[in-house]
Structure 1
Amino acid sequence: MADGLTGAGRPGTAASPRQLTRGRVVQAAVEFVDKHGMRELTMRRLGAYLGVDPMAIYRHVPGRDALLDAVVGVVVDDVLEVMRREEAEPGTWDAYLERLAHAVRGAALAHPQVFPLVATRPPAAPWLRPPLRSVRWVELFLRTLRGAGFSGRQAVAAYRAFTSFLLGHLLLEVSAIGVDTSPVDEPAPTDPGVGDLAGFPTVAGLQAELTEDHSAAEFQRALDDLVAHVAAMRTGA
């Protein structure tokens, strides 16, 4: 067929429409993206990959946009599992940040073709920062730091600094291995408001702090840290 990808990397056995589940469709989409990249993913190609009529997929996901959200959810859930385990077995806050950073990096390197989408999909609220812009991630992150003695404002400041570090480093890292990090598409942003965050009390309670724009000050602090680090390297420290 014309797309050149039909059957490429297809699972060993074709699925019948009756055997399809939403989980199987989403997992196949993740596998397809890992092999071919996000821009190649279409419902028709995924149907060919699964060995089914593409229309059968629509019984489980309403369209490509919902499929992309589900693919992002796979990466989100991988990191959430680590975060929940850390919350259940609390340690020091600095060890928590280190383990979480490595968990996000591990997810990015396990699915480098998916990671740029994690950073660019619309968040539950526009003031949540990539790549930790899933409200579930942010709720656990802020709740854990609050439990470690951070004030609400301190927890938000840590969240801002942490996400800036992760996004900058990990997008560069996946870009260096040839991944296209530009947005796949431009879905319309949404702002559900606090009413839709009722299940996430920490995020809802800190909305005012999360909404504040301290970009200039954050940039200067990061730049100061960078200059100090380079100065230390220059003197052999």
Structure 2
Amino acid sequence: MLRAALEIIDRESVDRLSMRRLGEALGRDPMVLYRHAVNKAALLDGVVELVLEQLTVDATDPDWRHQLRSIARDFRRLAVAHPNTVALLITHPLDTPLALRPLGTLRPLEHILELLTRADFSSVDALHIYRALFGFLHGHILNELQEIIERPEETSDLLRLGMHRLPIGEFPLLRALATELADYDGAAELERGLDILLAGLTTTMSAAGARPRRERRS
């Protein structure tokens, strides 16, 4: 049922998903589906869980930087594969208090906390790192999926982006970046952002591999 719901969302949109349309796709009476999901919100919770089940987190990886980079790449892959679910992945879980969210939405958080505490971060610092990583990821994904070329047939980057509409004499720095804006590469941009984020975390956070291990009291 959840796979069929995800297919409808991928093909059309979240708004087009309904118990009636899902029943038609499955060849079932929509009323029967309410035995498995009491309403559309519960159905969407299940779809979010289904997508996040595909997010791989290896909490035993001894290289926390490598693992966070791998998680970020995996999250982007899922978002690009299911762009119509991005709003669900980013905002839907936040509509519910943490302890009441579907367990599948909490497992990536738990596993990342385990990864980072294994690397000798405190649990509080591990939470800050998780928030920093996913704050960056959410912003990156929204930027990447909303990058729009107004007139792709044009050969001038200024015209392709519609920047000729900007007031003449204003936004000179933005105009100068027309080629870079038109040639946006989501995967490469992700890597640049991760380089900056992970370098900052390594500098500011104390953990095994980032700074010398602090002596432990017996």
Q: Structure 2 length normalisation: TM-score? A: 0.61
Instruction: Say whether 1:167 aligns with 2:143.
Output: no
Cα deviations by residue, 1:154-198 (Å, 9 ceiling, x for unpaired): 2122112111110100122223379xxxxxxxxxxxxxxxxxxxx
Q: Which amino acid aligns with 1:156?
A: L
Aligned twin of 2:35:
59
What is the CA–CA distance in structure 2 between the aligned matches of 1:95 and 1:143, rounded to whole Å?
15
Q: Show structure 1 runs of 4+ deviating over 6 A.
A: none
Query: Superposed, which structure 2 residues align to 1:216-227 within 5 Å?
Result: none
CA contact (8 A) 2:93 2:105 kept: no
Distance 1:149 1:64, change over 3 A: same
Distance 1:177 1:125, change over 3 A: farther
Q: Which amino acid aligns with 1:87?
A: A
What is the CA–CA distance in structure 1 between the aligned matches of 2:2 and 2:138, rounded to whole Å?
25
Aligned twin of 1:42:
18
* Aligned residues between the structures: 147
Larger radius of gyration: 2
Aligned twin of 2:168:
none
Instruction: Say whether 1:134 aligns with 2:87.
Output: no
1:37 is paired with a residue of what secondary structure? coil
Find 1:122's aligned residue among 86, 93, 110: 93
What is the CA–CA distance in structure 1 between the aligned matches of 2:52 and 2:89, rounded to whole Å?
8
Aligned twin of 1:70:
46
Identity of aligned residues (%): 37
Q: Which structure 1 residue ranges, 5 or more long, are not aligned?
A: 1-24, 128-132, 179-221, 227-237
Q: Which amino acid aligns with 1:91?
A: P
What is the CA–CA distance in structure 1 between the aligned matches of 2:118 and 2:148, rounded to whole Å?
38
How far is 1:126 from its partner? 5.3
What is the CA–CA distance in structure 1 between the aligned matches of 2:26 and 2:148, rounded to whole Å?
27
Cα deviations by residue, 1:69-118 (Å, 9 ceiling, x for unpaired): 00111111111xx11xx224x13111011001011111111111112111
Q: Which amino acid aligns with 2:13?
A: G
How far is 1:50 from its partner? 1.8
Aligned twin of 1:30:
6
Q: Which structure 2 residue ranges, 5 or more long, are not aligned?
A: 150-192, 198-218
How far is 1:68 from its partner? 0.6
Say which is worse superposed, 50-59 or 34-43, in terms of deviation. 50-59
Q: Structure 1 length normalisation: TM-score? A: 0.56
Cα deviations by residue, 1:47-78 (Å, 9 ceiling, x for unpaired): 11222221121222222111010011111111
How far is 1:125 from its partner? 3.5
What is the CA–CA distance in structure 2 between the aligned matches of 1:54 and 1:176, rounded to whole Å?
37
Q: Which amino acid aligns with 1:174?
A: L
What is the CA–CA distance in structure 1 between the aligned matches of 2:148 and 2:106, rounded to whole Å?
29
2:54 is paired with a residue of what secondary structure? helix
Query: Superposed, which structure 2 residues align to 1:137-216 within 5 Å?
Result: 137-176=108-147
